Amino acid sequence: MTDQLERVQIVQWILDKQLGWVAAADAKVAVVVALDTAVFAALATAYASAKCIPESALLMSLATSVLLVIALVCAVMSLLPRTKGPIKSLVFFGPIATQAQAAYITALRTVPLDHLCEDIAAQIHRNAEIAAEKHRWVRRSIECSFVAALPWATAVYLLIKQ
């Protein structure tokens, strides 16, 4: 019994780590969105203070805007909820919510530890998939944001140098 309980605790620890990776992706998205918003605001401020707007600044601004919009779309894709999971589970929120509270409590009390460990392992795997997908979208968002820096800096320079 002690060996099974230790195994469940280890599996729970792994699940917590996977949930941490999911949360880390969400935290990175918040930073990217804040920075991209600031870049848009700085560009708008440069336009507002410009005496004349050179065509090259317009082109650089367009490139910046396209890249930042792509970055924001990627950020949104990272934040979309991923609710697809196991149909029958004592760990995943979807199947839990479909059960009556008393039935869930009874099932949780009577489930063999091996089955609970398998259920948590399935949830670990699903959360690893979710974390990997979220981090791919975050990476794309960050890459677009960094690429946008060059045309952005050029546009701002062209607008304020006058």
Q: Give the whole-angstrom CA distance, residue 9 versus residue 153.
A: 51
CA atoms within 13 A on the CB side of 147: 14
- Nearest of 114, 85, 110 to residue 97 by alpha carbon: 85
pLDDT confidence of residue 162: 73
- Note down pLDDT in tens along the chain; length 162 residues: 678 788 888 988 999 999 999 999 999 999 999 999 999 999 999 999 999 999 999 999 999 999 999 999 999 999 998 888 878 889 888 889 999 999 999 999 999 988 999 999 999 999 999 999 999 999 999 999 999 999 999 999 999 987
Residue 44 lies in domain = 2-160
Number of domains in the chain: 1
